[in-house]
Structure 1
Amino acid sequence: MSSHRKVAILAATGAVGQRFIQLLQGHPWFKIEVLAASERSAGKKYKDACNWTMQSN
């Protein structure tokens, strides 16, 4: 059994999605497997699709 729980983050380019990514990145129990966003973000890299609302730690 894997030591990490696989998670998907919906609305990943919005403020709440960005916060979830901050909280789960490097977490010992969870591994981010999928980021989902609207069609506007299709084909873009995550960093280009985001309207950055969260400050990095």
Structure 2
Amino acid sequence: MFVGVGDLNRDGRADPVSRNAAGDLLRNSGNGAGSFGSTAKIGTGWQYYKSIF
């Protein structure tokens, strides 16, 4: 599950947020070319939610 959030790491590129099956909330650093760079865990305990808005 992905949701567009904005520029979370302030590099001028959009950074979508995702949740994995373990319930970790992840920031996926956008590279500005339609792909992603590094991923950083920004939260836990999200396995109980069906959607992220």
- TM-score w.r.t. length of structure 1: 0.21
| Larger relative contact order (CA 8 Å, sep ≥ 6) | 1
**Structure richer in strand, relative to its length:** 2
Higher gyration radius (CA): 1
Larger helix proportion of the pair: 1
